Structure 1
Amino acid sequence: MMHRYQNQQLMLEDCSVAALAERFGTPLYLYSQVAIEQAFNAFAEPLKGRKHLICYAVKANSNLAVLNLLARLGAGFDIVSGGELARVMAAGGDPAKVVFSGVGKTRAEMAQALKAGIHCFNVESVAELDRLNAVAAELGLVAPVSIRVNPDVDAKTHPYIATGLKENKFGIDIRMAPDAFRKAASLPHLKVVGVDCHIGSQLTQTQPFVDAIKRLIELEQQLQADGIVLSHLDIGGGLGVSYTDEQPPTPAQYLAQVLPLIPANLTVVLEPGRALVANAGLLVGRVEMTKDNGFKRFVILDTGMNDLMRPTLYQAVMPVLAVKEAQNQGPVSDLVGPVCETGDWLAKDVPLAAEEGDLVAIGGAGAYGFTMSSQYNSRPRAAEVMVRGDEALLIRQRETVENLWAGEQLLPEASC
């Protein structure tokens, strides 16, 4: 984390958060460039000497500046839509380092990715194998495929972000996987290059990763005996971060446990998202007013669930940082937004002395913050700023009210 207090004021790197809020307005997303660089290098360093590809999960934070920074560091990208592929390419990413995940790829998206020359498709069903083969045949191309296997491993995380159990929609059941691989190998416009699994997000223990990879290695050896030789093993993403009191393994600790399990001839592919950007980000809001109903005190910000969905959607507990350090001590309060929903809350039962006009930041907001934001209640989306040292660059302009209805039109008078 690159935020700290200096002279009782919250700083991100060497920038005053209060000064940035005054300059760019609120709600405001702030990202530390150094934090992103350090997080990427924490994965890259332990992988030196191994054939590897670190594919950043674009869905975590898809701002072009973030993608461009990671591309410059040598990252590949894990995408889940044609729109994300277009973003990667607009940001200078190399399509040959892109893996395309997701259960519902359209024919148009498949054609787009094939023409771009991506590294591989992470195929999630037998139906997708047939569709991809047909699209590749129409283009006269061969699609590189890695089959996503569901190893039925309990990731011990929130049920909405657990993806490796047999009841989840993702991947092909590991017991059915050999037949799927044989089918893929038989289709003329597919080339089998790897096996993939991703068991969930915000994992704070290493053992589920180890269990899943052991099952993948057993499958890889079985496939090799059947004459299907793989070139890479994609171990997915999901490594958790510390929002408040979580204690996940570091990338080095995680990789020390899993790399020895993987044969040296296989390229190791990883898909970290949250672990690269979450703790690089702050969401800053200004207090509009406070309210005490005799039962509970509310601190009402100008930012809410439309800007940051994680607390509402996942009951996520994220750190609250008063921009004036002394205000972190005060009456127990719920931090809420202006959206017309009871679910519009950012934190519950936190000590906070902030009053009207004061600034409050939510930590850990670099992942699944802006990318999940919306214009609900006709609220323009926030600005985004990248901080490096004592410099700050606006990397997304704040939406205007007119942006809210761009593309819409009134009915002609004759139809009313």
Structure 2
Amino acid sequence: MALPLTALPGADSVDDPSYAELIAARPSLSVDPVAGLMLEEVSLARIAAVVGTPVWVYSAGTLRRRLASLRAALEGAGLNATIHYAMKANDNLAVARVLAAGGAGADVVSEGELRAARAAGIPASAIVFSGVGKTERDLRLALAEDIFQINAESAEEIEMISALASSLGRVARVCLRVNPDVDARTHAKITTGKAENKFGVAIGDAPAIYARMAALPGIEPIGIAMHIGSQITAGMSAYRAAYAKLADLVRALRAAGLPVSRVDCGGGLGIPYRDEIAPLPEALAGAIKATLGDLGLPVMIEPGRWLAGPAGVLVAQVILQKGATRRFVVLDAAMNDLLRPAMYDAWHGILPVGAAALTAPLSPADVVGPVCETGDTFARGRAMPALPPGSLVALLDAGAYGATMSSTYNARPLAAEVLVDGARFAVVRDRQSYEDLLARQRLPAWLSP
């Protein structure tokens, strides 16, 4: 039986949502009065006891629910649209398999992601290859797999694709990615649609480049692509501005007699990590319909964070609490596991896992990791209960850009990953051992003992 959320304490800071608010906004989370914090029907404490910490835990139900919601929004707007999951958000095979089973394709940016998408059961006919620096090896694999679409990001890349495809006796289906010079009003490190960003070609140069692409051997030009950034929460104005430019470009290309058979709208729809008012998928579908709907073309979208972010938590154990005048809660998870707070000053909700801790009095604490960097800090002045050594906490909304951005800094092995599906759970990526960590290193002969 779930514990009523009204039994949970409020936040000490008026700026932060309470535990009750954090849980209520995340349907996969609940509180059992004995077992504590639950993801779907599985106790996070049980997973920690079996698998150890730190551990990433993903909710299959959340992935399915969000994919279905996004598809319903697109269909409700009357759009002929396909969804291609951005593998960079979370490339775990089990995560991708759940989404593939729901009908999602994939958006990949490397050979590794392409191989992962195929291993997860995503057909080559549903894979888009994006990215500003595709190598010849990347493109050879894309051509050999006969993937659905390559998004070319420069005139130079188009020449490279043409030469390679022709030499292999292949024809590459290519979209031209344009840079609309639109500010998505997101973090500077994840905006991709401004003129100073490295992505795509200037939209003013696109007609000439597209015409050149159409004249080259080994290429079938199929449309225009655009992606203006990630974690976009500032409404639909940036999307509408960018898509309006995209529509004008399509009309100009058609007027020049050039073939355009689809439009790739990219991704970037943000999620509420704290208390942001994030746009609903219906709003994105409406923006696409209003700006591109009269073109009569199929559209594609490439969400990553929106699908995977809310599906994951990072469970960590408290090593110790320290400090008399300023309380530090030191976890066994660190910035090498979840980089977003250190890299983007990102806010993640942090919940105690134990039932008693969830209802205990709160006081400010800095929640930090053990890495030798001051930046290894998950929260400052966060309202937290007393958390003696061995206590567990869950860092929320860690399903996207969590495990995929992990490193072995400070020689810390990569954490295990677990998938929860109803009352079941399974390890879907083993914890890296110290032997694994050292296995690929070699001493040169002159240094050998």
TM range (shorter): over 0.9
1:96 to 117, 121, 125: 125
Unaligned segments of structure 2, at least 5 residues: 1-25
Q: In the TM superposition, what is the alpha-carbon distance from 1:50 to its structure 2 partner?
A: 3.2
Partner of 2:259: 229
Aligned to 2:427: 394
CA distance in 1, matches of 2:295, 2:100: 25
Distance, in Å, in 2 between the alignment partners of 1:272 and 1:259 is 17
CA 1:170/1:241 → structure 2, altered by over 3 Å: closer, same or farther? same
| Aligned-partner residue type, residue 267 of structure 2 | G
Letter in 1 for 2:137: A
In the TM superposition, structure 1's runs of 4+ consecutive aligned residues that sit over 4 Å from their partners are: 413-416
Of 79-88 and 246-255, deviating more is 246-255
The one-letter code matched in structure 1 to 2:266 is G
Tell whether the 8 Å contact from 1:50 to 1:264 is kept in structure 2 after alignment: no
CA shift digits 1:238-260 (9 cap, x unpaired): 00001111111111222123223
Code of the aligned partner of 1:12 = L
Indicate if the aligned counterparts of 1:231 and 1:265 stay in contact, CA closer than 8 A: no
- 1:325-384 Cα deviation digits (max 9, x unpaired): 553542211110011111111112101122211001100000000000011111111111
For residue 377 of structure 1, give the secondary structure of its aligned residue in structure 2.
helix
Matches within 5 A, 1:299-314: 299-314=329-344
Q: Aligned residue pairs: how many? A: 415
2:79–2:289 CA contact under 8 A, matched in 1: no
Match status 1:367 vs 2:373: no
Of stretches 251-260 and 148-157 in structure 1, the one that deviates more from structure 2 is 251-260
Q: Distance in 2 between matches of 1:414 and 1:206?
A: 60
Q: Do the aligned partners of 2:128 and 2:149 also contact (CA within 8 Å) in 1?
A: yes
Q: Which deviates further from its counterpart, 330-339 or 257-266?
A: 257-266
- How far apart are 1:286 and its partner, in Å? 0.3
Is it true that 1:75 corresponds to 2:107 in the alignment? no
- Aligned to 1:67, what secondary structure does the other structure show? helix
Greater alpha carbon shift after TM alignment, 320-329 vs 352-361: 320-329
1:59 aligned counterpart, secondary structure: coil
The amino acid across from 2:43 in the alignment is S
Q: What are the within-5 Å matches in structure 2 for residues 328-343 of structure 1?
A: 329-343=361-375
8 A Cα contact 1:201 1:239, kept in partner: yes
TM-score (norm 1): 0.97
Deviation at 1:415, TM superposition (A): 7.0
What is the CA-CA distance between 1:324 and the residue it aligns to?
Answer: 2.6
Deviation at 1:293, TM superposition (A): 5.4
The one-letter amino acid paired with 1:314 is: Y
- Structure 2: how far apart are the matches of 1:413 and 1:199? 51
Aligned counterpart in structure 2 of residue 289 of structure 1, from 290, 315, 320:
320
Q: Distance in 2 between matches of 1:58 and 1:249?
A: 22
Letter in 1 for 2:217: P
After superposition, residues 37-186 of structure 1 pair within 5 angstroms as 37-48=64-75, 50-186=79-215
1:278 to 291, 303, 309: 309
Contact map agreement 1:157 1:200 (CA 8 A) in 2: yes
> Does residue 385 of structure 2 align to residue 385 of structure 1?
no
CA distance in structure 2 between the partners assigned to 1:279 and 1:257 by the alignment? 23
- Preserved contact between residue 78 and residue 271 of structure 1 (Cα < 8 Å): yes
Amino acid at match of 1:269: M
Percentage of pairs with the same residue: 43
Distance 2:73 2:180 in 1: 25
Structure-2 residue corresponding to 1:376: 409
Decide whether aligned partners of structure 1 residues 345 and 229 sit closer, same or farther in structure 2, where only a CA change above 3 A counts. Answer: same
Match of 2:351 in 1: 321
> What is residue 383 of structure 2 aligned with on the other side?
351
Offset from partner CA, 1:240-282 (integer Å, 9 cap, x none): 0011111111112221232232236211100000000100100
